[in-house]
Structure 1
Amino acid sequence: MTQLAEKTAIVAEKRQVCRCENSEMQKLQDILTSADVQGTSKYPSTSTSWCLRQSVAQDEWRKARSYHINCLLSCNVAPENNCSRCTSPAIIRCRDCMPQEWLCMDCDIHIHKKLTLHNRESCIEGIYKPIEPTVCCVKEDGKYTLVNQVCLLPTVRPVQLCTCDPSNFTESTGRVIVLVCINGRYDLHLPNLLCRLCLAHWTPDMSDLISSGYWPASVNADTLFSVDVFSTFEEMRTVAPGLSRQGFLRMLERRTCLFGRAGKIHGDVFQRSFMEYTFCQYAQADEGLAVDAPADEEPAVDTPADEGPAVDAPADEEPAVDAPADEGLAVDAPADEEPAVDAPADEGLAVDAPVDEEPAVDAPADEGPAVDAPVDEEPAVDTPADEGPTVDAQADEGPASSSLKSCTFLRMLTEAGV
């Protein structure tokens, strides 16, 4: 029982402490809320609490909501205005042409013949309706109606088509082309220029389209993508990695319908064109660095070319390489010394000399010259320089051995006094 009473007392003390803290915090909050600083506005200060700032902002929006609704409703009613460029009744509104957004039929055709990418609205029967660039307003039987018209793709134009007077140039429509920009899809035509005098003709090619800020969706350039679309898609992928390609294209299709146009955008065509554009961008950056860097380093690059003669120097040293060839002669010198080595062989020849003196068997007195015969045979000794004949000389050693026997026999006869 004693322990239970102690625990109950501890719990009571903690509760009392919490009540005191809560009361102190409440007093502090009341002081901060009720504090009024001289020179401040009639609204309470929002610098003390985030919750207070949010509640004040919400109250302000709630008070202005009814006014915003009335303004929005009044904007949907088309007023009867005159054209911003003439005194005719306005039938077209183009917010891209602000502040002169109100246009009559003639001014609308004249202005938007070149500004084909503007988003317009018709004011027929007092209701705003988005219309395509390929539609214009005409008056038939006292009523305004919408009819189709041909719109040209905005592109760069040649500086000079020919030397004729520009008043002789006529502009016509070319083949159909699809343009996809950040506001969706546009169905347009390529422009053609023709000189009536010299018949000079011009239509934009691939270089003109790329210079105009477009990128082809295919090699034939039947569809073009604005470079702005690619840059926007790349930035959105960077800040929102979870964004899919299909989601981005669905957004472009929604914007197409929002401005009164229609048409689909193919995801595979967009992906292929985007990847090709990205690759060309990186290739352009790499080539720019590769071209700029060697331009400054050309002297350093050319110095090895000046060292070409130094590389060829070994070719000039071929005589030094040939020196061993001269040493080959020195190596061959021992071949010239072979007569010294063959000296015993010469003695053998001297002994063999009688081979040539077989007829001298009957005249031993002529043996002296026969002994001198090896002297005349020195040219035969020189043949070992060619070493081939030397081998042949050795091949003739067989007859030399038989002549040795004959010589020995003759000596024996001489000693016997025959």
Structure 2
Amino acid sequence: MAPAPNRGILRRGIGAGEDSLNDPLQRDVEAVGRIEAVPTILDLVCRTTGLGFAAVARVTADRWIACATLDHIGFGLKPGGELPVNTTICREIHQSREPVVIDHVAEDPLYRHHPTPAHYGFQSYISMPIILRDGSFFGTLCGISPSPARVNTREITGTVRLFADLIAAHLNADEALRSMREELSEQKALSELREQFIAVLGHDLRNPVASIGSGVQLLQRMAHDEAQRNILVLMQSSVVRMSGLIGNLMDFARTRLGDGLDLKLTDEAPLAPVLEHAVSELRAIHPGRAIELALDLAEPVALDQARIAQMLSNLLGNALAHGAKDLPVRVGASARDGIFSLWVANGGAPIPPEAQAGLFHPFFRGQERQAHEGLGLGLYIVSEIARMHGGRMEVSSDTRETRFTFLMPIRRPAARG
């Protein structure tokens, strides 16, 4: 029998009534709702643990509020719903700041007589504290199931802890960005905004994502069956996507708020392995898609190889997202007759002419592309990399193919004195 909250003690919730408009915790619930990764995190928590209900909760000394939920067991609690904190284990976690993990309540020496499991009807439970950058306790990432489940393992608790850290990082960034808007309204210096913006994104987002990536790699070595490996492939693709989004945001900040992208031009190392590696990364993330690569690099090219790899990844990711799934994506690069070119082509529906003019604008997402994920910064960063190299981007699109091409005159690096 699926557990359900005691209707006699379930409160209306923070989202109900005019009084909620003045509730100081409403902003925290809305902040979690703005995190695009939260639904994926809750889904992965349920898939990884086998639990049927997962939630992000805002917890204080006297309140427990659901900010986001995923309910496969009919628990009945929705975002904004509130439980009396004294009926939850999270009250104890708020005091201790330590996670609580229970495989089987009936056999657990600490919790088999605890009133909370009996009150809500669960047998397995995991709850990880969410600690913000300033050391304050925000709440918990938690999950329950009416049946026993093996959740008290190093792999599972480590993964859930990394997800809690990622949520905290997003909340830190949200709060920092809110503060930045207030500073802008007070006409603070643009240089201060740039430094804070990049620091928040670099420290509070990149580090947790890198930790999750390391955790996924560890779990991949321990996976025992196909189901586990499929979940880990999904997690790895999410990590790569989040890393790309963070990189694009940081580059956007540099181009619009700073001095532009830094380039390190060189022709001392071969370019082909760099391009091949960029393609292989996308092949690993999209194992069902055909990606063809053709290279003709007859001349050495002085460019920033890391930035060109980023350009190729953005273009290739765009082609995989918007191109026909049953047609190959083709990639080519050549360096001949004083011109370096890099192009990516895909089949599928053409881009309307009226939309092509805005493709390289920041945050641009054409009407026909609204259903696809992304911030709309990938092609903008591509155009900035092209501009900083003294080259240009061209796009052509018809019923046969859509092709993005980077063209640049080949120059030798300036001699250093």
TM bucket (normalised to shorter chain) is: under 0.3
Higher relative contact order (CA 8 A, sep 6+): 2
Structure with the largest fraction of strand? 2
Q: Which has the larger radius of gyration?
A: 1
Structure with the largest fraction of helix? 1
Q: State TM-score, norm by structure 1.
A: 0.22
Q: State TM-score, norm by structure 2.
A: 0.22
